[in-house]
Amino acid sequence: MIRLFTALEIPDAVAEKLIPLQQGLDGARWIERPDFHITLRFMGDVPEDVARDIDEALSDIPVEPFGIELEGLGEFGGKRPHTLWAGVKPSGPLRILQGRHESAARRIGLKPDTRNFTPHVTIARLGRIETAAVYNFIRANSPFAAPAFTVERFTLFSARASTGGGPYVAEKRYPDRDWEEEE
């Protein structure tokens, strides 16, 4: 079994805006820079033969370059926040790309993802941090924005089975452009 998900990688210029946020919240488990990403579809724990089907389905997904921008901070968990994140400004092309990932997952027999797609970059796992401290942190670091960047590909990642967080391994990037373009 292998735990897989698809995501957009975060460029260095954007990560440089996220890293300074990772302080001032005692008890937070900060996400390491290499593990910053915007999840498109969590596939879960799948057998190797299903992983091959996932790769084949992902290879058929077209990617037209589009811009994306991080904006705002928030949390998941409400009265018991467990995740601190930087939001993604609404984007039609991102929603289309995510929908294609959902469709591909369903075509190969994976169960539908029942959660609403809320694009974000996780910056910390929170554990048992007081709710007031989380909201104070969000207020103190708002407004938040990072430079826009262009999405030209997405990545299939594997993750170790755990309670969240990396390390994540980039298994393959799509479209797969490992060849040199001829001039």
Annotated catalytic sites, by residue?
Answer: 37, 120
Residue 4 and residue 156 in contact, taking contact as beta carbons nearer than 8 Å:
yes
Residue 18 and residue 64 in contact, taking contact as beta carbons nearer than 8 Å:
no
**CA distance linking residue 8 with residue 38, whole number of Å:** 5
Rounded to the nearest angstrom, the gap between the alpha carbon of residue 120 and the centroid of all alpha carbons in its chain is 6
User: For residue 135, what are its two tokens?
Assistant: 């909201």
* Coil, helix or strand at residue 29: strand
* Residue whose token pair is 């440089």: 16
